Amino acid sequence: MTEGMKVTTAIHFKRAKKGRKVMKAGEAPEPESELGEVGTIPRVSRLMALAIKFNHLLETGAVRDQAELAELAHVSRARITQIMNLLHLAPDIQEELLFLPPTDGRRAPIHERAIRSICAEISWRRQRRLWGALELHAQA
């Protein structure tokens, strides 16, 4: 009676284009950010960066208007407006949003929906007051 050969190897699954899973040989790499911290960039930070990028595209004439942006991004014009409204925030608040610490798989402490009312405030002084209250509430 002959025995079959047994081969053991480590594999992991990785996300490919369009969310497909692909099997890869070897151990899964440790998830680390550029700063060496485990986690993902908060969605609101990505949206703030996107608003800045969209604004650059509009200013340089790469896109005609927000309607064209919406068409290219496959989102509604209303959603583009929501994202672009982040540019109404005081510069220091925008900077804080861009540099929020990575999340470690838990829910992000600050969400874009909570910031919309701050974006609607004209006074940067009042925006900063509302932002401070939101940050305190998010930490609790």
User: 41, 21, 22: which is closest to 31 by C-alpha?
Assistant: 41
Is residue 23 in some structural domain? no
Question: Band of the pLDDT at 2, cuts 50, 70, 90?
Answer: low
Is residue 18 in some structural domain? no
**Residue 40 · residue 27 · CB < 8 Å:** no
Question: For residue 32, what pLDDT is reported?
Answer: 53
| Total count of residues recorded for the chain | 140
Is residue 103 in some structural domain? yes
Question: Band of the pLDDT at 121, cuts 50, 70, 90?
Answer: very high
Question: Band of the pLDDT at 135, cuts 50, 70, 90?
Answer: confident
Question: For residue 101, what pLDDT is reported?
Answer: 87
Question: For residue 31, what pLDDT is reported?
Answer: 59
Looking at the chain, the whole-number percentage of residues with pLDDT higher than 70 is 86
pLDDT (mean) for 2-13:
78
Q: What is the pLDDT of residues 10-48, one digit of tens each?
A: 887 777 776 778 878 878 776 554 545 567 889 999 999
Q: How many CB atoms lie within 10 A of CB 54?
A: 22
Is residue 71 in some structural domain? yes
**Residue 134 · residue 110 · CB < 8 Å:** yes
pLDDT (mean) for 51-70:
96
Is residue 109 in some structural domain? yes
Residues 6+ apart with CB under 8 A from 95: none
Is residue 123 in some structural domain? yes
pLDDT (mean) for 53-82:
96
Q: What kind and span of H or E run contains 130?
A: helix 124-139
Average pLDDT value for the chain: 86
**Residue 75 · residue 81 · CB < 8 Å:** no
Domain count, the chain: 1
Is residue 76 in some structural domain? yes
Task: DSSP for 51-94, please give it.
Answer: HHHHHHHHHHTSSSSHHHHHHHHTS-HHHHHHHHGGGGS-HHHH
Helix axes 66-73, 43-60, angle to 10 degrees: 130
Is residue 32 in some structural domain? no
Q: What is the span of the domain harbouring residue 53?
A: 43-139
Tokens for 96, please give them. Answer: 């804080």
